[in-house]
Amino acid sequence: MTQQMTLSFWLGNYPNTAALKKGEVRSDLVALDFPEVKVANRGFKSIVRDAKYDVGELAIGTYLQAKSYDKPYVLLPAVVMGRGQHHTIAYNPERGTLRPSDLNGRRVGVRAYTQTTGGWLRGILADDYGVDVNKVRWITFEDPHLAEYHDPDIVERAPEGKELVQMLLDGEIDAAIVGDSLPDPRLKHLIPNPDEAARKWAASHGGVPINHMVVVRDHISKSRPDAVKDIFRMLGESKNAAELPESGTALDALRFGIEANRRSLEIIIDYCLRQRLIPRRFTVDELFDDTTRILGG
């Protein structure tokens, strides 16, 4: 009988991961050890720099960069976090009305230039709103997850001690990528009707943008494909246990399988290449190996 192996798994706390992390979804092949996670993205640097975890949630933009530098992980076709991106950029209307097309020549704050949300949003702004993202000055506050990567010359580090929201309120930056919710009532979404815009984008582009997927150490995928397949199964069962209203629809942000995610992966690869985040255009299939490529049918 195959011995059960124990693997460390960096995984955030979401409705779709709750059953797995509570032990309600189990495996005879693999036992998963979950470290405490407060904010999932705080573990990404240790994954790609130190290979700290056997299995991990990882931003897709970070994975594409990790793939560029031959980091020892392979992608599973399992999305654990995805969303529309249109609502994530804001401006301060007290300093005048700002439209997306006004961003050329402006200063826009973002946690890091390599942040996946920023990658999606810059692509959307370029393709749908006429923004030349190379004419925007991107003001950042953190290093890239990959030590090997260096920001392009359109990126500037904010002065030490400065905070993104306060810089936006003070007029030191013109807009900022702020995440899921507006952090101050004085701010306003830059893209009008962002939820409707995101729904239209998903309908026309074949799915909701991917934020985070799951990666596994490549040697585990090679030596224990049975365990990797069972991890994929457990992730799917945990998602199903959450009974998410969008599951299986065009607005399903948590898709499983390569074909279900192919178009979104093609788009983010294109965006990352155009934004100088990766050195070459990957094919979707080369993000996976012989074990993970067949998961999800």
- Calculate mean pLDDT across residues 81-89: 96
pLDDT at residue 247 in the model: 74
pLDDT at residue 251 in the model: 72
Structure tokens at 215: 């990666």
The dotted CATH code for 86-204 is 3.40.190.10
Model confidence over 56-74: pLDDT tens digits?
999 999 999 999 999 999 9
Cβ density class 233-251: b for 16+ within 10 Å, e for less = bbbbebbebeebeeeeeeb
Per the CB < 8 A criterion, the answer to whether 213 and 80 are in contact is: yes
Model confidence over 154-203: pLDDT tens digits?
999 999 999 999 999 999 999 999 988 999 999 999 999 999 999 999 99
State the Cα–Cα distance between residues 139 and 97, nearest whole angstrom. 20
Check for a shared fold between 5-83+208-294 and 86-204.
yes
Task: Give the Cβ contact number of residue 131 at 10 Å.
Answer: 22
Model confidence over 128-137: pLDDT tens digits?
999 999 999 9
- pLDDT > 80? residue 139: yes
Model confidence over 18-48: pLDDT tens digits?
999 999 999 999 999 999 999 999 999 999 9
Instruction: Tell me how long the chain is.
Output: 297
State the Cα–Cα distance between residues 80 and 261, nearest whole angstrom. 12
Rounded alpha-carbon distances, angstroms, from residue 14 to 164, 204, 210, 214, 255: 26, 27, 15, 14, 15
pLDDT at residue 3 in the model: 80
pLDDT at residue 1 in the model: 56
Per the CB < 8 A criterion, the answer to whether 106 and 129 are in contact is: no
Query: Please, which residues bridge with residue 78 across strands?
Result: 256
Average confidence score pLDDT of the chain:
96
Output the furthest CA–CA distance in the chain (Å, rounded). Answer: 69
Rounded alpha-carbon distances, angstroms, from residue 104 to 1, 86, 134: 62, 18, 8
- Which sequence spans correspond to the domains of the chain? 5-83+208-294, 86-204
pTM assigned to the model? 0.95
State the Cα–Cα distance between residues 131 and 126, nearest whole angstrom. 5
Give the phi and the psi of residue 61 in degrees, each rounded to 5: -65, -40
Choosing among 3.40.640.10, 3.30.300.130, 3.40.190.10, 3.40.50.2300, the CATH entry for 5-83+208-294 is 3.40.190.10
Model confidence over 216-265: pLDDT tens digits?
999 999 999 999 999 999 999 999 999 887 776 767 899 999 999 999 99
In the numeric block, the tokens 């995805």 are attached to 82
pLDDT at residue 250 in the model: 66
